[in-house]
Copies of this chain bind each other. A is one copy, B any other.
Amino acid sequence: MRGRSGPFWDGVEGRAPLPRAAATLGFEFVDADPDAGTIEVAFTATEDFVNPMGNVLGAFVAAMLYDTVGPALLATLEPDEFQTTLGINVSFLRPVRPGRLVGRGRVVHRDGDLVFLEAALAAPDEPVIATATATARVIPLSRAPAAA
């Protein structure tokens, strides 16, 4: 098992503050298996995220899936590595009301510095609200200031 160090684990394990964007989404780390490339995280969708009908706007569903695939990869990296997401493709399957949502992400395949990822978002009463596939590039931590 890889050591749990570096900027991702520092944030998850409380040695560094959670990134502001993650805090805004109500991000919580639940569990990860870096060897399997899987992660489970959770978010709190608040009334600040709703459309005029009171459903969580897909914009925030997409944001949560982005913040699921990224951590799935980050959890597998060495302490001196970081990642930048190149693209994400989100499918919106069902509407969802505010509340706690669970994101499950997975590293599908890594080929050198390029990585293929996938994730799904679940509500308590609905196993799949939305799904995503994404591509990302592993970069040296020193180049992280250029990462989106």
Contact = CB atoms under 8 A, between A and B. Distances in A.
Interface of A: 7, 11, 16, 19-25, 47-64, 66-67, 70, 84-92, 94-96, 130, 144-148
A120 to B, nearest CB: 14
A148 B24 contact: no
How many copies of the polypeptide does the oligomer hold?
2
B7 A21 contact: no
B20 A58 contact: no
Contact of A66 (B23, B57, B95): B57
Given A20-B47, A20-B48, A66-B62, A147 B55 contact: yes
Nearest to A49: B21
In this complex, the member of A58, A60, A63, A64 whose beta carbon has the largest number of chain B beta carbons within 10 angstroms is A58
Contact of A92 (B11, B16, B48, B86): B86
